[in-house]
Chains A and B, each alone.
Chain A
Amino acid sequence: SQTIHQWPATLVQPVGSPLSLECTVEGTSNPNLYWYRQAAGRGLQLLFYSVGIGQISSEVPQNLSASRPQDRQFILSSKKLLLSDSGFYLCAWNTGTGVRHEQFFGPGTRLTVL
């Protein structure tokens, strides 16, 4: 069966510090991978998605970046965190055959920037 992991589960970082959040998927190959940010009252904001190794699509211009160094690994990064980067970050995957299939979400990372 497929599983998705995210770490860390919680993170408290000072403004201006770097960020690296990792997401890995097991039990499937060539998944589509997604990063979302969830802020209170704003639903899920799609940040990045990837349909293959090294292929990253950015949805929102900001100080975050994403990389996919391996088929089942998706990393969210920042060089300098802002207060507004606080939120709940969710990684998700779905089968590469398309969006008629649901997404499977990881447990999330709660990021607090102070």
Chain B
Amino acid sequence: AQSVTQLGSHVSVSEGALVLLRCNYSSSVPPYLFWYVQYPNQGLQLLLKYTTGATLVKGINGFEAEFKKSETSFHLTKPSAHMSDAAEYFCAVSHSGTYKYIFGTGTRLKVLA
């Protein structure tokens, strides 16, 4: 069965500092991996996804993530945090042959001025 673990339910960074949000997955088949962002009382918006090909994926708002099969990880990074990045971030996994996505429990990012 697939699963997703997001280490750290809350992460705080200073404005301008590196953002690193961790995601580890468990899957017995090649995964499709996604990062979503959620602002308060809104739906989720896709930041980036990995399906096949290049393992470093660039998304919107300056975020990127690297698929590391050997580490079963898909960590999200951004070189310089902005106040507008404060939100909750969700990692999700799926795979060919299913219609379902499995989401992590989320990481709430706080950006300090």
Contacts and interface: CB of A to CB of B under 8 A. Distances in A.
Contacts, number: 61
A32 B99 contact: yes
Interface in B41-57: 41-46, 49, 51
A100 B44 contact: no
Contacts of A107: 42-43
A99 interface: yes
Contact of A103 (B101, B104, B106): B101
Contact of B32 (A34, A43, A99, A105): A99
Interface residues of A, number: 26
Given A43-B106, A99-B94, A90 B43 contact: yes
Interface of B: 9, 32, 34, 36, 41-46, 49, 51, 90, 94-96, 98-106
24 contacts: A34-B101, A41-B9, A42-B105, A43-B106, A46-B101, A46-B103, A59-B100, A92-B43, A92-B44, A99-B32, A99-B94, A99-B99, A99-B100, A99-B101, A102-B46, A102-B49, A103-B46, A103-B101, A104-B46, A105-B45, A107-B42, A108-B42, A108-B43, A110-B41
